[in-house]
Amino acid sequence: MKKILITGGAGFIGSHVVRRFVNTYSNYQIVNLDKLTYAGNLENLRDVEQAPSYKFVKGDIVDAEFINKLFTDENFDAVIHLAAESHVDRSIANPIEFVMTNVVGTVNLLNAARNSWKGDYDKKRFYHVSTDEVYGTLGEGTEMFTEQTAYDPHSPYSASKASSDHFVRAYHDTYGMDCVISNCSNNYGSFHFPEKLIPLSINNIKNNKPIPIYGKGENIRDWLWVEDHARAIDVIFHKAKTGSTYNIGGHNEWTNIDLIRTLCKVMDKKLGRPEGTSAQLITFVTDRAGHDLRYAIDATKLKNDLGWEPSLQFEEGLEKTVDWYLANEEWLNNVTSGNYQHYYEDQYQNR
């Protein structure tokens, strides 16, 4: 029996990780700690919330006293840390919140784990989930980010994630804590909050609203299906050597404009609209400040060491994603109207 703290489990990727762990490992107790910010939605976990091995705790990783007490009360064996402020545009508008949650929150968790484990890291693990954005930007060539690429973050979001990665490595190197880090490329799939490019565009196309493309749409991202990310986290959590880092990516680079044109075709087909209808909604808008040109991940180490590879071709994953959003209209409407924020009060507070 292992007790695992998963932070940020009510968010996009975290909910897939919680679901995978609850459904796969009946011998684990999973505690999902989440502040339920605008990005946290317990409806994402409706299918596992009654599982006896699952528990939800509402709380803020920035609150050190609360975090220390939680670790004392629960005696965790491991942490999988996903809680974060995750949207680049919000970090440009309000950097301090990113410093608090992503940096201070991470250090609070590291401290609490250190106090709880008291230097004995046998069968203990702190897994930090990070992003490829810490590496900065690539040119238009074929170069890719490897685990050796020097950190060069440009946005307040990526700077805060880079800082948290440094703290995690410092706790490994200084205190001998068993820590692992993974840096993943852009995810897509179900339960993705519709402020990010793909779900925002699906929602706008559905509602005949403009699709905002920053600059000329020439920026390149490497897209990975979220369930493949959750599977990579599972493999790394169980098999990586202490102190190791793994890059995770889809070998799947798209310019934003090509991606959105492809999405428009899928949406036309699914909505029974004449081909070309959705593409008319594409609208070029002012570019994001400091917009990184290209991300691309070399995930060779993960394949060679631990045998992980992406399972889905992008076209198939994109179609699955569109199908999910069209079949889950209520989820999308609740998220866009803000109704999901009442789910906690209804389902949890009076238990």
Token reading at 79: 């942490």
Q: How far is the CB of 95 from ligand TYD (least distance, A)?
A: 15
Helix (H, G, I), strand (E, B), or coil: what is residue 313? coil
Q: How far is the CB of 187 from ligand NAD (least distance, A)?
A: 4
Q: List the single partner that 187 binds among ligand NAD, ligand TYD, none, CB under 5 to 8 Å by kind.
A: ligand NAD
Q: How far is CA 227 from CA 44, 126, 233, in A?
A: 14, 21, 10
Interface positions with ligand NAD (CB under 6 A): 7-8, 10-14, 34-37, 39-40, 60-62, 82-86, 101, 105, 129, 131, 161, 184, 186-187, 193
Write the DSSP assignment of 235-266 as a string of letters: HHHHHPPTT-EEEE--S-EEEHHHHHHHHHHH
**Contact pick of 186, 247, 252, 321 for ligand TYD (by CB under 6 A):** 186
Tell me, yes or no, if 133 is annotated catalytic. yes
Q: How far is the CB of 219 from ligand TYD (least distance, A)?
A: 4
Question: What does the alpha-carbon distance between residue 119 and residue 115 come to, in Å, rounded to a whole number?
Answer: 8
Give the residue with the Cβ less far from ligand TYD, 6 or 213.
213
Stretch that binds ligand TYD, among 90-98, 167-175, 195-203, 331-339 (CB under 6 A): 195-203
Q: How far is the CB of 205 from ligand TYD (least distance, A)?
A: 13
CA–CA–CA angle 158, 163, 168 (5° rounding): 125
List the alpha helices (DSSP H) in the chain: 12-24, 64-74, 88-93, 95-98, 105-117, 156-175, 197-206, 226-239, 256-271, 300-306, 314-327, 329-337, 343-344
In this chain, which residue has its C-beta nearest to ligand NAD? 11
Question: What does the alpha-carbon distance between residue 4 and residue 123 come to, in Å, rounded to a whole number?
Answer: 12
Question: What does the alpha-carbon distance between residue 224 and residue 253 come to, in Å, rounded to a whole number?
Answer: 10
**Contact pick of 213, 297, 318, 335 for ligand TYD (by CB under 6 A):** 213
- CA of residue 26 relative to chain centroid, distance: 24
Using CB under 6 A as the binding rule, whether residue 197 contacts ligand TYD is answered as: yes
Q: How far is the CB of 316 from ligand NAD (least distance, A)?
A: 19
Residue 183: which residues within 8 A CB-CB, separation 6 or more? 130, 131, 132, 134, 135, 145, 147, 165, 245, 246, 247, 248, 297
Q: List the single partner that 128 binds among ligand TYD, ligand NAD, none, CB under 5 to 8 Å by kind.
A: none
Tell me, yes or no, if 132 is annotated catalytic. yes
Per-residue contact string for residues 284-313; x = within reach of ligand TYD by CB under 6 A: ----x-------------------------
Task: Show contacts with ligand TYD in window 249-268 (CB under 6 A).
Answer: 256
- Would you say 144 and 301 are in contact if contact means Cβ atoms under 8 Å apart? no
Q: List the single partner that 164 binds among ligand TYD, ligand NAD, none, CB under 5 to 8 Å by kind.
A: none
Tell me, yes or no, if 157 is annotated catalytic. yes
Active centre residues (catalytic): 132-133, 157
Q: Which residues bind ligand TYD (CB under 6 A)?
A: 88, 186, 196-197, 200, 212-214, 219, 221, 256, 288
